[in-house]
Amino acid sequence: MKSKAVLSQTEVSQILTAARTEAQNNQWAVTIVVVDDGGHPLALERLDGCAPIGAYIATQKARTSALGRRESTDYEEMVNGGRFAFLSAPLLTSLEGGVPIIVDGQVIGAVGVSGVKAEHDAQVARAGAHCIR
């Protein structure tokens, strides 16, 4: 039987802190969501000034990344590259800003961010996801 790491509230807090710090250092009003490997929300933080829709979109970006075991931007690139059938996939978003949390080669969760330009959302999500190793 294999075993793998799981996110505790300690790691979730570290992830939120790292992502929030990145967003605040750039003065970006975003929502940050951390999910487990099944895409189930563990934490959500909407920074002051972020539109309410950010909570929904960030959650879906994180879920897409966790379930797909890759950054959500990969799906966006597939669609932009002509794989339009992917729009009907059960993933609810194909937008950049979802980043998996990988420990010992296994995806144990993901971070989703929404609120600013897609590449900036991804930058904040990476800051959170990459603080755990």
Helix (H) or strand (E) holding 99: strand 98-103
As a whole number, mean pLDDT of residues 120-130 equals 98
What are the structure tokens assigned to 42, written together? 């563990």
pLDDT tens, position by position, 67-78: 999 999 888 888
- In the prediction, which pLDDT does 92 show? 63
- In the prediction, which pLDDT does 87 show? 76
- The yes-or-no verdict on residue 54 having pLDDT over 80 is yes
Q: What percent of the chain has pLDDT over 90?
A: 77
Position 50, amino acid? C
pTM of the shown model: 0.93
List the end-to-end C-alpha distance of the chain, in Å, as a whole number.
22
What is the rounded CA–CA span in Å between residue 126 and residue 96? 11
3-state secondary structure string across 39-57: CCEEEEEECCCCCCHHHHH
Q: What percent of the chain has pLDDT over 70?
A: 96
pLDDT tens, position by position, 82-121: 888 777 777 666 789 999 999 999 999 999 999 999 999 9
As a whole number, mean pLDDT of residues 25-35 equals 98
For tokens 């931007």, name the residue: 73
Closest CA to 122 of 57, 68, 67: 57
Exposed/middle/buried for 59, CB within 10 Å: 0-12, 13-18, 19+?
buried
Q: Where are the domains of the chain?
A: 9-129
**What is the CATH T-level fold of the domain 9-129, as seen in this structure?**
Beta-Lactamase (3.30.450)
As a whole number, mean pLDDT of residues 39-60 equals 97
Mean pLDDT of the chain: 93
- In the prediction, which pLDDT does 80 show? 83
